[in-house]
Amino acid sequence: TLEEEGQKILDATKEHTGITNQEELKEWIADQMNLMNQCVSEFIDGYKKGRDEEIERVLNAYWKELDGEVDGEETEEVSGEKERTWRVR
């Protein structure tokens, strides 16, 4: 019957996971949520770093021909060409 099969599945799940009651399940879920939060935070940090590096690369590539001073930073001579140094804020 359905009740017997359900109980078999519940028992097998308890044996396989080691979670035997609702409190243990809550603790496991809290651990999984903390792990997820850490993973998302690490991903976002990497994303922001990559984004900032790409913005800096693009700005330097497209604004090489500009001459002078921007935001208090002087351009520097690289291989006979002026190259602007941008700071990502």
**The token pair that represents 31 in the structure block:** 């651990």
For the chain, give the mean pLDDT.
80
Mean pLDDT, residues 15-43:
93
Output 62 or 5, whichever has higher pLDDT: 5
Whole-model pTM? 0.52
Residue 49's pLDDT band (boundaries 50, 70, 90)? very high
Residue 69's pLDDT band (boundaries 50, 70, 90)? very low
Q: At a CB cut-off of 8 Å and minimum separation 6, what does 81 contact?
A: 64
Instruction: Give the whole-angstrom CA distance, residue 9 versus residue 29.
Output: 20
